[in-house]
Protein backbone atom coordinates (compact mmCIF):
# COMPACT_ATOMS: atom_id res chain seq x y z
CA UNK A 1 0.00 0.00 0.00
CA UNK A 2 1.31 3.43 -0.85
CA UNK A 3 -0.53 6.03 1.16
CA UNK A 4 0.61 9.62 0.92
CA UNK A 5 -0.55 12.68 2.77
CA UNK A 6 0.33 16.37 3.05
CA UNK A 7 1.15 18.48 6.06
CA UNK A 8 0.59 22.23 6.20
CA UNK A 9 3.49 24.47 7.08
CA UNK A 10 1.51 26.06 9.87
CA UNK A 11 -1.48 25.19 12.02
CA UNK A 12 -3.57 27.91 13.65
CA UNK A 13 -5.78 27.32 16.63
CA UNK A 14 -8.97 29.40 16.49
CA UNK A 15 -11.83 29.68 18.96
CA UNK A 16 -15.35 29.96 17.61
CA UNK A 17 -16.25 32.53 20.28
CA UNK A 18 -13.63 34.90 18.92
CA UNK A 19 -14.94 34.80 15.37
CA UNK A 20 -16.88 37.78 14.11
CA UNK A 21 -20.41 37.15 12.85
CA UNK A 22 -19.42 37.90 9.26
CA UNK A 23 -16.41 35.55 9.34
CA UNK A 24 -16.54 33.07 6.49
CA UNK A 25 -15.94 30.21 8.91
CA UNK A 26 -18.73 31.28 11.24
CA UNK A 27 -21.13 31.63 8.32
CA UNK A 28 -20.16 28.18 7.07
CA UNK A 29 -21.84 26.76 10.18
CA UNK A 30 -19.68 25.32 12.93
CA UNK A 31 -22.51 23.81 15.04
CA UNK A 32 -23.94 22.22 11.89
CA UNK A 33 -20.57 20.68 11.02
CA UNK A 34 -20.32 19.23 14.55
CA UNK A 35 -23.87 17.84 14.31
CA UNK A 36 -23.14 16.29 10.97
CA UNK A 37 -19.95 14.62 12.27
CA UNK A 38 -21.83 13.27 15.28
CA UNK A 39 -24.60 11.87 13.12
CA UNK A 40 -21.99 9.55 11.54
CA UNK A 41 -19.63 8.84 14.44
CA UNK A 42 -21.74 9.18 17.56
CA UNK A 43 -24.42 6.54 17.13
CA UNK A 44 -25.12 6.32 20.81
CA UNK A 45 -25.37 10.05 21.39
CA UNK A 46 -22.67 10.32 24.03
CA UNK A 47 -21.64 13.73 22.87
CA UNK A 48 -24.90 14.95 21.40
CA UNK A 49 -26.35 15.14 24.88
CA UNK A 50 -23.66 17.62 25.96
CA UNK A 51 -24.27 21.16 24.88
CA UNK A 52 -21.07 22.43 23.30
CA UNK A 53 -21.27 26.07 22.31
CA UNK A 54 -17.60 27.02 21.98
CA UNK A 55 -15.51 25.12 19.49
CA UNK A 56 -11.77 25.14 19.11
CA UNK A 57 -10.76 24.86 15.45
CA UNK A 58 -7.56 23.77 13.72
CA UNK A 59 -6.84 25.73 10.57
CA UNK A 60 -4.43 24.27 8.01
CA UNK A 61 -3.07 26.59 5.37
CA UNK A 62 -3.32 25.02 1.89
CA UNK A 63 -0.37 26.97 0.53
CA UNK A 64 3.04 25.54 1.27
CA UNK A 65 2.00 21.98 1.95
CA UNK A 66 4.64 19.23 2.08
CA UNK A 67 3.90 15.71 0.93
CA UNK A 68 5.05 12.78 3.03
CA UNK A 69 4.47 9.08 3.55
CA UNK A 70 3.35 8.31 7.11
CA UNK A 71 5.07 5.51 9.05
CA UNK A 72 2.89 2.74 10.43
CA UNK A 73 3.98 3.73 13.95
CA UNK A 74 1.85 6.87 13.61
CA UNK A 75 -1.02 4.97 15.26
CA UNK A 76 1.03 4.60 18.45
CA UNK A 77 2.07 8.23 18.33
CA UNK A 78 -1.54 9.29 17.89
CA UNK A 79 -2.68 7.07 20.77
CA UNK A 80 0.01 8.57 23.03
CA UNK A 81 -1.06 12.13 22.21
CA UNK A 82 -1.95 14.08 25.33
CA UNK A 83 -5.74 14.37 25.59
CA UNK A 84 -5.83 18.17 25.31
CA UNK A 85 -5.77 20.99 22.77
CA UNK A 86 -2.00 21.25 23.29
CA UNK A 87 -1.60 17.58 22.53
CA UNK A 88 -3.57 17.57 19.29
CA UNK A 89 -2.02 20.82 18.05
CA UNK A 90 1.44 19.24 18.43
CA UNK A 91 0.30 16.20 16.44
CA UNK A 92 -1.32 18.46 13.81
CA UNK A 93 1.90 20.45 13.39
CA UNK A 94 3.81 17.25 12.76
CA UNK A 95 1.37 15.36 10.51
CA UNK A 96 -1.17 17.85 9.16
CA UNK A 97 -4.93 17.51 9.13
CA UNK A 98 -6.67 14.21 9.77
CA UNK A 99 -9.06 14.61 6.85
CA UNK A 100 -12.10 14.19 9.05
CA UNK A 101 -15.53 14.05 7.42
CA UNK A 102 -17.77 17.15 7.65
CA UNK A 103 -14.77 19.46 8.09
CA UNK A 104 -14.37 22.69 6.12
CA UNK A 105 -12.61 22.87 2.79
CA UNK A 106 -12.04 26.52 1.86
CA UNK A 107 -10.11 27.79 -1.13
CA UNK A 108 -7.04 28.64 0.97
CA UNK A 109 -7.39 26.36 3.99
CA UNK A 110 -8.85 23.29 5.65
CA UNK A 111 -10.49 23.69 9.05
CA UNK A 112 -11.20 20.81 11.44
CA UNK A 113 -13.03 20.86 14.77
CA UNK A 114 -10.81 20.04 17.74
CA UNK A 115 -13.62 18.04 19.35
CA UNK A 116 -13.75 15.68 16.36
CA UNK A 117 -10.03 15.03 16.88
CA UNK A 118 -10.58 14.35 20.57
CA UNK A 119 -13.47 12.00 19.84
CA UNK A 120 -11.31 10.00 17.41
CA UNK A 121 -8.51 9.94 20.00
CA UNK A 122 -10.89 8.79 22.77
CA UNK A 123 -12.05 5.94 20.54
CA UNK A 124 -8.56 4.92 19.42
CA UNK A 125 -7.39 4.81 23.03
CA UNK A 126 -10.47 2.84 23.99
CA UNK A 127 -9.69 0.26 21.28
CA UNK A 128 -6.15 -0.19 22.61
CA UNK A 129 -7.45 -0.63 26.14
CA UNK A 130 -10.01 -3.18 24.90
CA UNK A 131 -7.26 -5.14 23.16
CA UNK A 132 -5.26 -5.06 26.40
CA UNK A 133 -8.28 -6.34 28.33
CA UNK A 134 -8.69 -9.10 25.76
CA UNK A 135 -5.05 -10.09 26.25
CA UNK A 136 -5.13 -10.04 30.03
CA UNK A 137 -8.64 -11.46 30.47
CA UNK A 138 -8.90 -9.93 33.93
CA UNK A 139 -12.63 -10.33 34.61
CA UNK A 140 -12.48 -8.16 37.76
CA UNK A 141 -11.06 -5.12 36.02
CA UNK A 142 -13.22 -5.39 32.91
CA UNK A 143 -16.45 -5.89 34.87
CA UNK A 144 -16.11 -2.25 36.00
CA UNK A 145 -16.70 -1.18 32.40
CA UNK A 146 -19.54 -3.57 31.60
CA UNK A 147 -23.07 -3.72 32.99
CA UNK A 148 -24.95 -6.96 32.39
CA UNK A 149 -28.67 -7.57 32.78
CA UNK A 150 -29.05 -11.34 33.07
CA UNK A 151 -32.84 -11.02 32.77
CA UNK A 152 -32.66 -9.73 29.20
CA UNK A 153 -29.10 -10.78 28.36
CA UNK A 154 -28.36 -7.19 27.38
CA UNK A 155 -25.16 -5.37 28.26
CA UNK A 156 -23.78 -1.86 28.26
CA UNK A 157 -20.12 -0.94 27.89
CA UNK A 158 -18.86 2.42 29.08
CA UNK A 159 -15.30 3.77 29.15
CA UNK A 160 -15.35 7.18 30.75
CA UNK A 161 -11.64 7.91 30.91
CA UNK A 162 -11.21 10.55 28.22
CA UNK A 163 -12.17 14.04 29.26
CA UNK A 164 -11.02 17.63 28.99
CA UNK A 165 -11.87 20.42 31.44
CA UNK A 166 -15.11 21.17 29.60
CA UNK A 167 -16.22 18.04 27.81
CA UNK A 168 -16.52 14.32 28.56
CA UNK A 169 -15.82 11.89 25.76
CA UNK A 170 -17.33 8.65 27.10
CA UNK A 171 -17.32 5.67 24.76
CA UNK A 172 -20.64 3.93 25.29
CA UNK A 173 -21.76 0.83 23.40
CA UNK A 174 -24.76 -1.45 23.76
CA UNK A 175 -26.01 -4.33 21.57
CA UNK A 176 -28.77 -2.62 19.60
CA UNK A 177 -29.07 -0.14 16.80
CA UNK A 178 -27.74 0.11 13.30
CA UNK A 179 -25.00 -2.40 13.74
CA UNK A 180 -27.19 -5.47 13.36
CA UNK A 181 -29.05 -3.90 10.46
CA UNK A 182 -25.96 -3.10 8.44
CA UNK A 183 -23.92 -6.13 9.31
CA UNK A 184 -25.23 -9.65 9.41
CA UNK A 185 -24.04 -10.47 12.90
CA UNK A 186 -25.89 -10.96 16.17
CA UNK A 187 -24.14 -9.42 19.13
CA UNK A 188 -23.67 -11.52 22.26
CA UNK A 189 -26.53 -11.82 24.77
CA UNK A 190 -25.42 -12.86 28.24
CA UNK A 191 -26.78 -16.07 29.77
CA UNK A 192 -24.39 -16.03 32.72
CA UNK A 193 -22.18 -13.57 34.55
CA UNK A 194 -18.94 -12.31 33.04
CA UNK A 195 -16.25 -14.99 32.73
CA UNK A 196 -13.09 -15.28 30.65
CA UNK A 197 -14.93 -16.86 27.72
CA UNK A 198 -17.85 -14.46 27.28
CA UNK A 199 -15.53 -11.55 28.15
CA UNK A 200 -13.43 -12.34 25.11
CA UNK A 201 -16.60 -12.59 23.00
CA UNK A 202 -18.12 -9.31 24.16
CA UNK A 203 -14.82 -7.47 23.60
CA UNK A 204 -14.75 -8.83 20.05
CA UNK A 205 -18.29 -7.54 19.55
CA UNK A 206 -17.47 -4.10 20.93
CA UNK A 207 -14.38 -3.90 18.71
CA UNK A 208 -16.44 -4.95 15.68
CA UNK A 209 -18.95 -2.18 16.34
CA UNK A 210 -16.20 0.43 16.75
CA UNK A 211 -14.31 -0.58 13.59
CA UNK A 212 -17.62 -0.77 11.72
CA UNK A 213 -18.25 2.87 12.65
CA UNK A 214 -14.78 4.38 12.39
CA UNK A 215 -12.89 2.33 9.82
CA UNK A 216 -15.17 0.83 7.16
CA UNK A 217 -16.03 4.02 5.27
CA UNK A 218 -12.52 5.42 5.45
CA UNK A 219 -10.90 3.01 3.00
CA UNK A 220 -11.51 2.37 -0.67
CA UNK A 221 -10.47 -0.53 -2.89
CA UNK A 222 -7.61 0.09 -5.31
CA UNK A 223 -7.92 -2.15 -8.35
CA UNK A 224 -4.99 -3.01 -10.57
CA UNK A 225 -4.30 -5.38 -13.40
CA UNK A 226 -1.04 -6.85 -14.63
CA UNK A 227 -0.53 -9.56 -17.24
CA UNK A 228 -4.15 -10.56 -17.33
CA UNK A 229 -4.38 -10.76 -13.57
CA UNK A 230 -6.56 -8.50 -11.46
CA UNK A 231 -5.84 -7.66 -7.84
CA UNK A 232 -7.24 -5.21 -5.33
CA UNK A 233 -6.25 -3.84 -1.97
CA UNK A 234 -7.79 -1.41 0.43
CA UNK A 235 -6.33 2.03 0.78
CA UNK A 236 -7.19 4.74 3.33
CA UNK A 237 -8.81 7.90 1.98
CA UNK A 238 -7.45 10.16 4.72
CA UNK A 239 -4.88 10.27 7.51
CA UNK A 240 -7.53 9.32 10.05
CA UNK A 241 -8.40 6.39 7.77
CA UNK A 242 -4.73 5.39 7.76
CA UNK A 243 -4.61 5.56 11.57
CA UNK A 244 -7.67 3.28 11.88
CA UNK A 245 -6.18 1.00 9.21
CA UNK A 246 -2.97 0.60 11.23
CA UNK A 247 -5.00 0.13 14.42
CA UNK A 248 -6.91 -2.67 12.73
CA UNK A 249 -3.61 -4.31 11.76
CA UNK A 250 -2.55 -4.41 15.43
CA UNK A 251 -5.74 -6.36 16.10
CA UNK A 252 -5.36 -8.53 13.03
CA UNK A 253 -1.73 -9.42 13.81
CA UNK A 254 -2.48 -10.10 17.47
CA UNK A 255 0.23 -7.70 18.59
CA UNK A 256 0.76 -7.38 22.32
CA UNK A 257 -0.04 -3.94 23.74
CA UNK A 258 1.67 -2.66 26.81
CA UNK A 259 2.10 0.60 28.73
CA UNK A 260 5.71 1.57 29.35
CA UNK A 261 6.56 1.17 33.03
CA UNK A 262 8.42 4.47 33.05
CA UNK A 263 6.76 6.95 30.65
CA UNK A 264 3.38 5.12 30.63
CA UNK A 265 3.08 5.45 26.85
CA UNK A 266 1.53 2.63 24.83
CA UNK A 267 3.84 0.41 22.78
CA UNK A 268 3.31 -2.79 20.81
CA UNK A 269 5.24 -6.02 20.61
CA UNK A 270 4.96 -8.30 17.60
CA UNK A 271 3.35 -11.70 18.18
CA UNK A 272 5.95 -14.37 18.96
CA UNK A 273 8.65 -11.75 19.41
CA UNK A 274 11.66 -12.84 21.42
CA UNK A 275 11.23 -9.75 23.56
CA UNK A 276 7.64 -10.34 24.60
CA UNK A 277 8.55 -9.62 28.24
CA UNK A 278 9.53 -6.01 27.45
CA UNK A 279 8.16 -3.55 30.02
CA UNK A 280 9.82 -0.35 28.80
CA UNK A 281 9.12 1.32 25.43
CA UNK A 282 12.67 2.48 24.67
CA UNK A 283 16.25 2.25 25.86
CA UNK A 284 16.10 5.63 27.56
CA UNK A 285 13.02 4.49 29.49
CA UNK A 286 14.87 1.33 30.58
CA UNK A 287 17.62 3.51 32.06
CA UNK A 288 15.34 6.13 33.64
CA UNK A 289 12.82 3.61 34.85
CA UNK A 290 15.33 1.36 36.57
CA UNK A 291 17.01 4.32 38.27
CA UNK A 292 13.75 5.82 39.52
CA UNK A 293 12.58 2.54 40.92
CA UNK A 294 15.91 1.88 42.61
CA UNK A 295 15.80 5.27 44.37
CA UNK A 296 12.17 4.79 45.40
CA UNK A 297 12.68 1.23 46.66
CA UNK A 298 15.14 2.53 49.29
CA UNK A 299 12.42 4.65 50.94
CA UNK A 300 9.22 2.74 50.22
CA UNK A 301 9.26 0.95 53.60
CA UNK A 302 9.79 4.26 55.47
CA UNK A 303 6.63 5.68 53.91
CA UNK A 304 4.65 2.55 54.73
CA UNK A 305 5.86 2.57 58.36
CA UNK A 306 4.58 6.13 58.76
CA UNK A 307 1.07 5.20 57.59
CA UNK A 308 1.13 6.08 53.88
CA UNK A 309 -0.15 3.76 51.17
CA UNK A 310 1.62 4.11 47.83
CA UNK A 311 0.45 3.55 44.28
CA UNK A 312 2.61 3.78 41.18
CA UNK A 313 1.36 6.43 38.79
CA UNK A 314 -0.47 5.11 35.73
CA UNK A 315 -0.52 8.27 33.63
CA UNK A 316 2.05 9.99 31.48
CA UNK A 317 1.24 13.68 31.49
CA UNK A 318 3.39 16.43 32.94
CA UNK A 319 0.88 16.77 35.73
CA UNK A 320 1.39 13.35 37.20
CA UNK A 321 3.62 12.42 40.10
CA UNK A 322 5.79 9.30 39.89
CA UNK A 323 3.91 7.82 42.86
CA UNK A 324 0.65 8.65 44.61
CA UNK A 325 0.10 8.78 48.37
CA UNK A 326 -3.13 7.41 49.79
CA UNK A 327 -4.42 7.43 53.39
CA UNK A 328 -6.07 4.54 55.24
CA UNK A 329 -9.52 5.66 54.03
CA UNK A 330 -8.31 5.11 50.47
CA UNK A 331 -8.29 8.85 49.76
CA UNK A 332 -5.64 10.32 47.50
CA UNK A 333 -3.75 12.93 49.54
CA UNK A 334 -0.50 13.61 47.73
CA UNK A 335 2.33 12.56 45.46
CA UNK A 336 6.00 11.63 45.39
CA UNK A 337 8.45 12.62 42.68
CA UNK A 338 11.87 11.08 42.24
CA UNK A 339 14.64 13.26 40.83
CA UNK A 340 17.45 11.49 39.04
CA UNK A 341 19.72 14.43 39.71
CA UNK A 342 21.30 15.94 42.80
CA UNK A 343 18.83 18.83 42.77
CA UNK A 344 18.56 20.49 46.20
CA UNK A 345 17.60 23.77 47.85
CA UNK A 346 21.11 25.00 46.91
CA UNK A 347 20.63 24.41 43.17
CA UNK A 348 20.01 27.16 40.70
CA UNK A 349 17.02 25.30 39.36
CA UNK A 350 15.40 24.85 42.78
CA UNK A 351 12.73 27.54 42.24
CA UNK A 352 11.79 25.92 39.00
CA UNK A 353 11.59 22.51 40.67
CA UNK A 354 9.23 23.98 43.30
CA UNK A 355 7.07 25.45 40.56
CA UNK A 356 6.79 22.03 38.88
CA UNK A 357 5.62 20.46 42.13
CA UNK A 358 3.22 23.34 42.71
CA UNK A 359 1.61 22.93 39.31
CA UNK A 360 1.24 19.19 39.86
CA UNK A 361 -0.43 19.82 43.24
CA UNK A 362 -2.70 22.36 41.60
CA UNK A 363 -3.67 20.19 38.68
CA UNK A 364 -4.59 17.28 40.94
CA UNK A 365 -6.13 19.33 43.77
CA UNK A 366 -3.68 17.82 46.23
CA UNK A 367 -2.21 19.26 49.42
CA UNK A 368 1.09 17.47 50.01
CA UNK A 369 4.06 16.16 48.05
CA UNK A 370 7.53 14.75 48.59
CA UNK A 371 10.62 14.94 46.43
CA UNK A 372 13.52 12.53 46.79
CA UNK A 373 16.72 13.23 44.87
CA UNK A 374 19.35 10.85 43.58
CA UNK A 375 21.33 11.06 46.82
CA UNK A 376 18.28 10.40 48.96
CA UNK A 377 17.77 13.99 50.15
CA UNK A 378 14.09 14.33 50.95
CA UNK A 379 11.84 17.39 50.76
CA UNK A 380 8.25 17.91 51.75
CA UNK A 381 5.89 20.36 50.06
CA UNK A 382 2.54 21.46 51.38
CA UNK A 383 -0.05 23.51 49.62
CA UNK A 384 -0.01 27.18 50.56
CA UNK A 385 -0.10 30.42 48.57
CA UNK A 386 3.42 29.66 47.37
CA UNK A 387 4.91 26.22 47.44
CA UNK A 388 8.53 25.73 48.53
CA UNK A 389 10.07 22.49 49.57
CA UNK A 390 11.56 22.03 53.00
CA UNK A 391 14.35 19.60 53.65
CA UNK A 392 13.32 16.75 55.95
CA UNK A 393 15.59 14.35 57.76
CA UNK A 394 12.90 11.70 58.09
CA UNK A 395 9.54 11.03 56.57
CA UNK A 396 6.91 12.43 58.97
CA UNK A 397 4.04 10.43 60.35
CA UNK A 398 0.95 10.78 58.16
CA UNK A 399 -1.02 12.26 61.07
CA UNK A 400 0.98 15.51 61.03
CA UNK A 401 -0.99 16.49 57.92
CA UNK A 402 -4.45 16.10 59.51
CA UNK A 403 -4.99 19.80 60.27
CA UNK A 404 -3.49 20.87 56.97
CA UNK A 405 -5.69 18.51 54.97
CA UNK A 406 -8.79 19.78 56.79
CA UNK A 407 -7.98 23.37 55.90
CA UNK A 408 -7.18 22.36 52.37
CA UNK A 409 -10.58 20.76 51.83
CA UNK A 410 -12.22 24.02 53.01
CA UNK A 411 -10.08 25.88 50.52
CA UNK A 412 -11.13 23.50 47.71
CA UNK A 413 -14.80 24.13 48.46
CA UNK A 414 -14.23 27.86 48.27
CA UNK A 415 -12.27 27.47 45.03
CA UNK A 416 -15.11 25.48 43.45
CA UNK A 417 -17.68 28.12 44.36
CA UNK A 418 -15.49 30.80 42.85
CA UNK A 419 -15.21 28.83 39.62
CA UNK A 420 -18.99 28.48 39.36
CA UNK A 421 -19.38 32.23 39.82
CA UNK A 422 -16.66 32.96 37.30
CA UNK A 423 -18.35 30.74 34.69
CA UNK A 424 -21.69 32.48 35.24
CA UNK A 425 -20.01 35.87 34.76
CA UNK A 426 -18.35 34.70 31.54
CA UNK A 427 -21.71 33.50 30.19
CA UNK A 428 -23.23 36.90 30.90
CA UNK A 429 -20.31 38.63 29.23
CA UNK A 430 -20.83 36.47 26.14
CA UNK A 431 -24.55 37.26 25.97
CA UNK A 432 -23.74 40.94 26.28
CA UNK A 433 -21.15 40.76 23.49
CA UNK A 434 -23.38 38.88 21.08
CA UNK A 435 -26.19 41.36 21.87
CA UNK A 436 -23.91 44.28 21.01
CA UNK A 437 -22.69 42.44 17.91
CA UNK A 438 -26.23 41.97 16.63
CA UNK A 439 -27.18 45.50 17.55
CA UNK A 440 -24.40 46.90 15.40
CA UNK A 441 -25.55 44.86 12.44
CA UNK A 442 -29.16 45.92 12.79
CA UNK A 443 -28.26 49.54 13.14
CA UNK A 444 -26.67 49.96 9.73
CA UNK A 445 -29.13 52.34 8.11
CA UNK A 446 -30.48 51.05 4.81
CA UNK A 447 -29.93 53.30 1.87
CA UNK A 448 -33.10 55.03 0.85
CA UNK A 449 -33.98 54.91 -2.81
CA UNK A 450 -36.60 57.23 -4.06
CA UNK A 451 -38.52 56.70 -7.23
CA UNK A 452 -39.11 60.23 -8.39
CA UNK A 453 -41.51 59.38 -11.15
CA UNK A 454 -43.94 57.51 -8.98
CA UNK A 455 -43.16 59.64 -5.95
CA UNK A 456 -42.81 56.74 -3.53
CA UNK A 457 -40.25 54.75 -1.59
CA UNK A 458 -38.83 51.65 -3.08
CA UNK A 459 -37.98 48.87 -0.67
Q: Which residues bind Zn ion (CB under 5 A)?
A: 260, 262-263, 281, 285
Q: Which is nearer to Zn ion, 150 or 294 (CB)?
A: 294
In whole angstroms, how close is the CB of 393 to Zn ion at the nearest point? Answer: 34
In whole angstroms, how close is the CB of 380 to Zn ion at the nearest point? Answer: 28
In whole angstroms, how close is the CB of 262 to Zn ion at the nearest point? Answer: 5
In whole angstroms, how close is the CB of 136 to Zn ion at the nearest point? Answer: 19
Closest C-alpha among 153, 159, 154 to residue 171 = 159
Cα–Cα distance measured from residue 370 to residue 383, given in angstroms and rounded to the nearest whole number? 12
Q: Which is nearer to Zn ion, 127 or 281 (CB)?
A: 281
Q: Which is nearer to Zn ion, 312 or 423 (CB)?
A: 312
In whole angstroms, how close is the CB of 141 to Zn ion at the nearest point? Answer: 22
Q: Which is nearer to Zn ion, 67 or 283 (CB)?
A: 283
In whole angstroms, how close is the CB of 284 to Zn ion at the nearest point? Answer: 8
CA-only gyration radius of the chain, Å: 27
In whole angstroms, how close is the CB of 259 to Zn ion at the nearest point? Answer: 9
Q: Which is nearer to Zn ion, 35 or 318 (CB)?
A: 318
Q: Which is nearer to Zn ion, 276 or 362 (CB)?
A: 276
SS (H, E, C) the chain: CCCCEEEECCEEEEEHHHCCCCCHHHHHCHHHHHHHHHHHHCCCCCCCCCCCCCCEEEEEECCCEEEECCCCCHHHHHHCCCCCHHHHHHHHHHHCCCCCCCCEECCCEEEEEHHHHHHHHHHHHHHHHHHHHHHHCCHHHHHCCEEEECCCCEEEEEECCCECCCCECCEEECCCCHHHHHCCCCCCCCCCCCCHHHHHHHHHHHHHHHHHHHCHHHEEEEEEEECCEEEEEEEECCHHHHHHHHHHHHHHCCCEEEECCCCCCEEEECCCCCCCCCCCCCHHHHHHHHHHHHHHHHHHHHHHHCCCEEEECCCCCCCCCCEEEECCCCCEEEEEEECCCCCCCCCCCHHHHHHHHHHHHHHHCCCEEEEECCCCCEEEEECCCCCCCEEECCCCCHHHHHHHHHHHHHHHHHHHHHHHHHHHHHHHHHHHHHHHHHHHHHCCCCCCEEECCCCEEEC
Q: Which is nearer to Zn ion, 25 or 281 (CB)?
A: 281
In whole angstroms, how close is the CB of 264 to Zn ion at the nearest point? Answer: 7
Q: Which is nearer to Zn ion, 194 or 263 (CB)?
A: 263
Q: Which is nearer to Zn ion, 239 or 260 (CB)?
A: 260
In whole angstroms, how close is the CB of 263 to Zn ion at the nearest point? Answer: 3
Amino acid sequence: MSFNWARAKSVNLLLSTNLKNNDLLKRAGIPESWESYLSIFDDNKNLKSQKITDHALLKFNKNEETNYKPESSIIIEFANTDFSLDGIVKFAEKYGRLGIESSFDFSDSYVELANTWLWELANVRNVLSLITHKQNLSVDKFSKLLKIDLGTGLWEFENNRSKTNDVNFPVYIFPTGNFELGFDKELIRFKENLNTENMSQVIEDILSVIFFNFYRDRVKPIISSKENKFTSEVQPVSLIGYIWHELFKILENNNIIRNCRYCKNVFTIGMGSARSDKVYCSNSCVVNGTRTEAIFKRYEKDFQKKGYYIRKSGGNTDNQFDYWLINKYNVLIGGIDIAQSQISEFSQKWDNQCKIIESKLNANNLAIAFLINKEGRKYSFSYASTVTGSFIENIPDISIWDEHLKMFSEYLKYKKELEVQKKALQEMQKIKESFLDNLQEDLTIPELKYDIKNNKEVA
